[in-house]
Amino acid sequence: MRFEVQPSKVTDARLTVPGDKSVSHRALMLGGIAEGRTHVRGFLAGEDCLATLAAMSDMGVTILRPAPTELVVDGVGLHGLIAPDTGLDLGNSGTAMRLMAGLLSGQNFSSVLSGDASLSSRPMQRVIGPLELMGATIESHDGCPPLTVHGNPELRGIDYTLPVASAQVKSAILLAGLYADGITTVKEPAVTRDHTERMLVTMGAGLERANHRISMRGHQTLHGCDIEVPADLSSASFIILAAVLAERADVLITDVGVNPTRTGVIDILQAMGASIEFENQRQFGAEPIADIRVRSSSLRGGVVDPALVSLAIDEFPVLFVAAAAAQGKTVFSGLAELRVKESDRIAAMAEGLRALGIQVVEVADGATVYGGPFKGGVVESHGDHRVAMSLAIAATIATDTVVINDVAAVNTSFPGFTNSLEQLGVSIR
């Protein structure tokens, strides 16, 4: 499967994007182990979240879908999950793999977590280490999936400092901490997305948060609730950049989650000169949302503050394209985590941008991108949904057609991506 994108005139538009992937995963897992019923609206019906839905169903949670983006989750309580008949296939989802490892560490059964070829190459030792300190036993293939999680219903709380800022590892420890005796504490070296903490509090758990430390007592009962999933800021970032790069466009993206642990991409683009404003700010339950107004702008390069990395970790492929379209050079550092995503995103974006005529100099934890015009060509996504979508946005201002290969993974996070671009006037097929 491939995209073929023609240089396009992006026009004024009002649209939204699918629901937040991070919130959707967590609604399924926490709703599944809560007491009572959880109603989820705005669910992201992408392949990653559907894999989590199937896994929770396989462990005895009844989940109804009265509409494609609406779920009714009948929770089984903290100790109500049952051993699945077969292994749990989590597809391409690193979030599902790491969070599920934490959830399953406190069960009274063993389970096998597997995924596709890309997920099977992703490192899991950073989540295995703390979970084993809590009393779980996890077998892996040299630190990579598949993982065999031997649950231990008598986990013990730990005080753990994350060596690298990671919302997924933090969340896995907190999920295991629900099953642990005593207090579980996680200290972050930098702020990461806090959807897990917000949803735990919404469902009745007591947390203490101060000075980058999150502490939680084990064996707390969660209670089902109504969850409104905001539109995904990571998905919106592609629409935002398309509007910024256009000659003359005014685009409104509605109902987008603007959790402050996620808005680094906005901060970085605004620092580069992008005209982006939040309108109609309000709350969907525990999550802040807004309509995002974007107007075409001229971007300038600069040095991206490494302190913003953890607040924009999934959006750097988009930001590499923004840098390539900016005047001057842009320096990225502190991005070593991108080397072990669905692809080596630094290498994949450098390769793709070079194929379109952009000069990129890689270093171990980042790159320097020199702004310039995009030419047409054929580029590889390396099976990475965010690389594929970012290069599609670059293609809108290229001098000729751009073909992007191996784009099937886009459905993991942004079903309807091509339809959204077509609403902006982009010629994509």
Write out pLDDT tens, residues 28-71: 999 999 999 999 999 999 999 999 999 999 999 999 999 999 99
Same domain, 14 and 93: no
Task: Read off the pLDDT of each residue in 382-390 and give the average, rounded to a whole number.
Answer: 97
- Which of 182, 204, 228 is where one domain is finished? 228
Which residues constitute the domain of residue 135? 21-228
What are the tens digits of pLDDT across the range 109-158? 999 999 999 999 999 999 999 999 999 999 999 999 999 999 999 999 99
Same domain, 291 and 312: yes
Same domain, 13 and 39: no
Same domain, 245 and 122: no
CATH number at residue 341: 3.65.10.10
pLDDT given at position 271: 98
Same domain, 31 and 160: yes
pLDDT given at position 318: 98
Same domain, 405 and 277: yes
Do 187 and 248 form a contact (C-beta atoms < 8 A)? Answer: no
Q: Mean pLDDT in the chain?
A: 97
**Can you read off the two tokens belonging to residue 260?**
């402050």
Q: How many whole angstroms separate alpha carbon 4 and alpha carbon 301?
A: 28
- Which of 185, 206, 228 is where one domain is finished? 228
pLDDT given at position 162: 97
Band of the pLDDT at 200, cuts 50, 70, 90? very high
User: What residues contact residue 419 under an 8 Å CB cut-off, 6+ apart?
Assistant: none
| Burial class (CB within 10 angstroms; exposed 0-12, middle 13-18, buried 19+) of 7 | middle
Give the predicted TM-score (pTM) of the model: 0.95
What are the tens digits of pLDDT across the range 343-373? 999 999 999 999 999 999 999 999 999 999 9
Do 378 and 355 form a contact (C-beta atoms < 8 A)? Answer: yes
Residue among 268, 285, 132, 130 nearest 198 (CA):
285
Q: Which of 267, 314, 344, 365 is catalytic?
A: 314
What are the tens digits of pLDDT across the range 64-86? 999 999 999 999 999 999 999 99
For residue 194, indicate whether it is catalytic: no
Same domain, 281 and 325: yes
Same domain, 282 and 151: no
Q: What are phi and psi of 368, to 5 degrees?
A: -110, 125
User: What residues contact residue 359 under an 8 Å CB cut-off, 6+ apart?
Assistant: 369, 370, 372
Give CA 141 to chain center in angstroms. Answer: 24
Same domain, 283 and 205: no
Domain total of the chain: 2
C-alpha torsion sign, points 294, 338, 417, 43: negative
Same domain, 121 and 243: no
**Can you read off the two tokens belonging to residue 397?**
């201002």
Task: Read off the pLDDT of each residue in 318-331 and give the average, rounded to a whole number.
Answer: 98
- Which of 195, 228, 261 is where one domain is finished? 228
Task: Read off the pLDDT of each residue in 325-334 and give the average, rounded to a whole number.
Answer: 98
